[in-house]
Amino acid sequence: MTLRIVSLNAWGGRLHQPLLEYLAACNADIYCLQEIVRDPASTVSRWSAYRDGDNELAQRTNLFEEIRAALPEHDAFFAPNATGDLFVGDQWVPTLFGLATFVRRSLAVVSQGVDFVHGSFSAEGFGAHPRPRNAHCVRLYDAAGSRTLTVCHVHGLRDLAGKSDTEQRDAQARSLLRLVRQVWAEGEPLVVCGDFNVLPGSRTFEILGEAGLADLVTANGFTDTRTSHYSKDVRFADYMLTNTAVQVVGFHVVERPEVSDHRPLLLEME
């Protein structure tokens, strides 16, 4: 049985209608989504604004619940890394921000782990950069394929100085590797993906290589994981790594439709 895994930085749902339509139509078994907003209480508006200095970005205030409604055949998991304020005009709306994982119900989640790979949960606002980052790993039993596999995703820390290697990014990769090894059974298929916020030659890949992981983006010659909504020159951000136990049927960096300032990564595996 072929499994389909999507990794995507959802950009807070700024392109929410194309995003929801794509997620429903691509029929993936596992969705690993970063930059997900969730409002645990009722909201005064579906749209709100994230403000960071002079930067303002429209956000879907309850994106997690909207995606959950669009994927009724999937179990939904939300892992916040911070709580902070979005704004409707001058009115603040307290929200949670983090990772979401959606798993088709035909796949049993037999174990999972979530932890911080940089910093710790921020309950008093988003804070200064680099902000806390977490990762979520799920070990799944696929009855149709009579196998177990582990899928993990992360949103790597953002450094205002750029995407070059730093001691903090090295430590983040080590923390991610420890979390992976807590959930993954060695020898089984392993997929690690997400918005890593690093360059292709980063030491992050050497560290994750200790678990036998290799990146599919660069190995397949892709040089751009961003869309026309992203204007900067550095076009790498998102990666999908697999070990040799993963039988890759197809791998795509999806150019169309554009549903974020990041392109979805789509893995098809036996």
Tens digit of pLDDT for each residue in 180-236? 999 999 999 999 999 999 999 999 999 999 999 999 999 999 999 999 999 999 999
d(CA 60, CA 251): 29
d(CA 196, CA 139): 21
CATH code at 243? 3.60.10.10
Token code pair at residue 221: 């010659």
Evaluate if residue 93 carries a pLDDT over 90.
no
High-pLDDT (> 90) share of the chain, %:
88
| Residue 42: pLDDT band with limits 50, 70, 90 | low
Helix then strand count (H, E) for the chain reads 5, 14
Arithmetic mean of pLDDT, 79-92 = 90
Contact criterion met (CB below 8 Å) for 97 and 125: no
**Closest to 140 measured CA to CA, from 105, 94, 109, 95:** 109
33 lies in which domain range? 3-269
Q: For the chain, how many structural domains are there in total?
A: 1
Q: Between these two residues, 247 and 128, which has the higher pLDDT value? A: 247
pTM for this structure?
Answer: 0.97
Interacting residues of 82 by C-beta distance below 8 A, sequence separation 6+? 96, 97, 98, 121, 122, 123, 125, 126, 127, 131, 132
| Residue 248: pLDDT band with limits 50, 70, 90 | very high
| Residue 124: pLDDT band with limits 50, 70, 90 | confident
High-pLDDT (> 70) share of the chain, %:
99
